[in-house]
Structure 1
């Protein structure tokens, strides 16, 4: 199974979540995207569920010399979440990554300011919160975001992705009340291999999507 692009993945995921919502206890749903790739996927989910859309900015902490491989992640001002087994295998201590954490924290705050333009994050307390990304490879970024959201006391916390690595899905189940994944292939190298077109999502696209047609604001949702 491969998705044409982010939008197609979001449409397919939305169909599954509509079925899931019909069978479950969904309270005041809120859809939150992990930018940037999760935003166009989450937009389709938010439209289908008629729920507000917002973002949770999390940043991956990469392996020194190989930043594309995540060994940890941060969300908000929370402490980093690390893959402890990977740290041990690489002979790394948390202090070895302090400079990387500081750099990614600065980028995280830059993106939060850019995407929200001074608007506060939407409240999650007492709500069914659905965190959406375009795929799950290691799971460490999703875990950081889920732990950040859990501190806001949501009624239920769900992770929803179109495709996921089996071991990553297992790791995030400790931090989510439920994990919805359309496709869990036996062989998984990278999220992009499951998309025919895997274009990079820009900051401008994130901002325009959050303000785009069919996306409910919190005021519209409350009204």
Structure 2
């Protein structure tokens, strides 16, 4: 195990990012978390950098019979982003996953309303955006979020995670200006194996954390 819990992982990640900020690599940053697991990690980062915290709500599209295996992801009303290699290996098509996409989009809208309560997404144009999650497995959810954010014209787009599969972290350099992933174990199987306490983050914690940073939510 590398981390005691999400907060510990966030403090470790924040220490790396504070170093980069001191070198001038993170000008005018805004921290955006991928809920739910990324929120307590991102809260430590935002606190250390003295900046704002908000969320980008994304939903993973899991493989049939193995929902934790991400084969695609959605953000907002945009089309799904798929891991083409995973689809081919599993013999899946986009059409076969259509019902899963709609189900996940319904849950995505529920969470957006719960976390935002009608509040608009932050304007990231011209700013340094730090997209934070608790780890990278296939990386497809992070890829969908990065592409969503890229279309909003940030000055710089950085993906920051405490731990991840080496190949996933490297592949996401095509979608981010920088990938900060301090721990890239060769024998990576899942994000949770690198946490002593990987308890599920609940909606209540997301809402309370956003409120603590001055982002009122409904709930």
Q: TM-score, normalised by structure 1?
A: 0.94
Q: Which residue of the partner structure matches residue 169 of structure 2?
A: 169
Q: Which residue of the partner structure matches residue 91 of structure 2?
A: 91
**Partner SS for 1:67:** strand
1:4 lines up with 2:1 in the alignment = no
Q: Which residue of the partner structure matches residue 117 of structure 2?
A: 117
Q: Which residue of the partner structure matches residue 197 of structure 2?
A: 197
**CA distance in structure 1 between the partners assigned to 2:200 and 2:6 by the alignment:** 10
Cα deviation for residue 25 of structure 1 reads 3.5
Unaligned 5+ runs, structure 2: none
Cα deviation for residue 6 of structure 1 reads 0.5
**CA distance in structure 2 between the partners assigned to 1:80 and 1:72 by the alignment:** 6
**CA distance in structure 2 between the partners assigned to 1:171 and 1:26 by the alignment:** 22
**Partner SS for 1:104:** helix
**CA distance in structure 2 between the partners assigned to 1:144 and 1:56 by the alignment:** 10
Q: Which residue of the partner structure matches residue 157 of structure 1?
A: 157
**Partner SS for 2:161:** strand
Q: Which residue of the partner structure matches residue 182 of structure 2?
A: 182
Aligned CA RMSD, in angstroms, stands at 1.3
Give runs of aligned pairs for residues 129-168 of structure 1, distance below 5 A: 129-168=129-168
**CA distance in structure 2 between the partners assigned to 1:48 and 1:55 by the alignment:** 17
Aligned length: 216
Is this contact kept in 2: 1:34–1:133, CA < 8 A? yes
1:136-181 deviation digits (Å, cap 9, x = unpaired) = 0110000000000001000000000000101110221110000001
**CA distance in structure 2 between the partners assigned to 1:216 and 1:13 by the alignment:** 22
Cα deviation for residue 89 of structure 1 reads 1.5
Cα deviation for residue 27 of structure 1 reads 2.9
Q: Which residue of the partner structure matches residue 33 of structure 1?
A: 33
Cα deviation for residue 88 of structure 1 reads 1.2
Give runs of aligned pairs for residues 36-51 of structure 1, distance below 5 A: 36-51=36-51
Q: Which residue of the partner structure matches residue 208 of structure 2?
A: 208
Is this contact kept in 2: 1:50–1:216, CA < 8 A? no
Cα deviation for residue 191 of structure 1 reads 0.5
